[in-house]
Amino acid sequence: MFVLTIDQAGSRSTEDRVPELLRLLQPIDTVLPWERSVGDEAQGVLDHADGVVEAVLTCLRAGDWYVGVGIGAVEQPLPVSPREARGTAFVAARKAVDRAKKTGDRAPVAVEGPDGAAEAEGVLALLGRHVLGRSEADWRILDLLQPGERGTQTAVARTLGISPQAVSKAAARAAWHEELAVRPALARLLAWADAEAAQG
């Protein structure tokens, strides 16, 4: 399984943003719900890699969050809250979020677990760089784009009152198409690491 431990950056000098983060993460399916764990931290337990990718990129987009992904076992039977759960995935997530606080100029995300975790972290860091580099204007465009739909750039341009070329340039600048292509590969790396953990 996957445990995400997410810690607010600079929480002593800024308002509590955990409720806002929980609202953003709420649509992402979990086996144990997104909850405040302690202080300015949130946690969730997932059993599918696609959700992990979505959650991490959501946190990075929101900004000022350290994200630790732990891959491993969660003791059964599952309790009702992540705060009551135990297992190697929780230990790995704690180690990962502590490392995420030391990534410097890189995206503040780390992945801990068996074989495959380091590779997944590398891809997440690359995707994270693009997410962190996007402006609000970029997001206004990207949020309206529908992957694989013909004519979507023209429709977005019409909606926003800009040229299709401006939409195309924003998508290229943001590496939007590359992100869409890489997400499934990243999910496979995470699933591979999860399978390794299950065998171990």
pLDDT tens-digit profile of 42-68? 999 999 999 999 999 999 999 999 999
User: Across residues 110-128, what is the average pLDDT?
Assistant: 94
Tokens of 72: 């491993």
Arithmetic mean of pLDDT, 85-100: 97
- Residue 132 has a pLDDT of 94
Q: Residue 118: what pLDDT?
A: 95
Q: Of 7-11, 89-93, 181-185, where does mean pLDDT reach its minimum?
A: 7-11
pLDDT score for 200: 66
The residue among 8, 90, 9 whose CA lies nearest residue 46 is 90
Q: Which pLDDT score, from 0 to 100, does residue 137 have? A: 93
Model pLDDT, residue 13: 72
- Given a contact cutoff of 8 angstroms between Cβ atoms, the answer to whether 93 and 3 are in contact is yes
Class of domain 2-114: alpha beta
Helix (H) or strand (E) holding 6: strand 2-8
What percentage of residues in the chain have a pLDDT greater than 90? 86
